[in-house]
Amino acid sequence: MTGIATATITTIAITGIHMGMSTEPSPATLLQLMWLASPALPVGGFSYSEVLEAAIDASLVSTEAEAADWLVQQLHLTQARSDMAAIAQALPAWQEGDMLRVEGLNDWVLFTRESRELRLQTEQMGRSLADWLRNQHLQDALRTGQVTQLAALSLQRPTYPVAFALATAFTGASVQHALLAYAFGWAENMVQAALKAVPLGQSAGQRILAQLAHEIPTAVAHAQALPDNARQAFSPMLAIHSARHEHQYSRLFRS
């Protein structure tokens, strides 16, 4: 392995991470998941359109219906089969303290980014979430005196899906609930990008978000069911337009 496989992963203790096997999340867990899915979380998701802006520039997306279709396809063809599938496998790896598995999944995410800007996005968001997570749990540990329950993330280049998996592991959430939170957070960010770049009105944005919310459970089930040899990030159109976006004359977003 290369990349983070050669980096140091420091785990002070894994006792603060538990399996979260209940069918319904507790109120505390639900609130933590809502927090992680919130656009207010300081990880920079608002600054990316994940190629939507390039699709708009290429006249592939210019209406509400086209924006909804683009995002629904992206949810199923890229998110469910790639980042969400990685989260589904990274979460139990963090819970079990399987650092080799965590490293392998992180490397896979890095190696499958098909453009420079998409790779920089997952690195920046992963690093920001890792910083937030360390700061958040350090404060909690100092306040409660349970320093031994703090698990520290120390990766050379943590990717966003792997960092998100650790964040949800601290909540005790199940894989399904973690993926639902991740997918809704992604959908909300993407709808906000569509509102600015197409542009669209707030009512149109809510209709698109409703369509994505309807599709998310199916995408989550698909991501949970994928074994290693079926997880993939092959999306040629997204890669081509991402590469073009890197040199786009005028743009609002970093990807």
Residue 102 inside a domain? The answer is: yes
Residue 252 inside a domain? The answer is: no
Question: How many independent structural domains does the chain possess?
Answer: 1
Residue 166 inside a domain? The answer is: yes
CA distances from 34 to 44, 77, 150 (A): 17, 25, 21
Residue 61 to residue 53: CA distance in whole angstroms = 9
Residue 251 inside a domain? The answer is: no
DSSP 63: S
Q: Amino acid identity of 230?
A: A
Residue 52 inside a domain? The answer is: yes
Cα dihedral 24, 128, 5, 182, rounded to 10, equals 30
Burial 191-230 (b: 16+ CB within 10 A, else e): bbbbbebbebeeebbebbbebbeebbeebbebbbebeeee
Residue 22 inside a domain? The answer is: no
CA distances from 253 to 135, 160, 229 (A): 27, 18, 33
93: containing domain = 3-17+27-244
We report the CATH number of the domain holding residue 240 as 1.10.4190.10
pTM for the predicted model, two decimal places: 0.86
Instruction: From first to last of the 255 residues of the chain, give the pLDDT tens digit.
Output: 333 333 323 332 333 444 434 478 899 999 999 999 998 899 988 888 899 998 998 999 999 999 999 999 999 999 999 999 999 999 999 888 888 899 899 999 999 999 999 999 999 999 999 888 878 766 654 544 433 333 445 567 899 999 999 889 888 899 999 999 999 999 999 999 999 999 999 999 999 999 999 999 999 999 999 999 999 988 888 888 888 877 765 656 655
Residue 250 inside a domain? The answer is: no
Nearest residue to 233 via CA among 108, 130, 139: 108
Residue 57 inside a domain? The answer is: yes
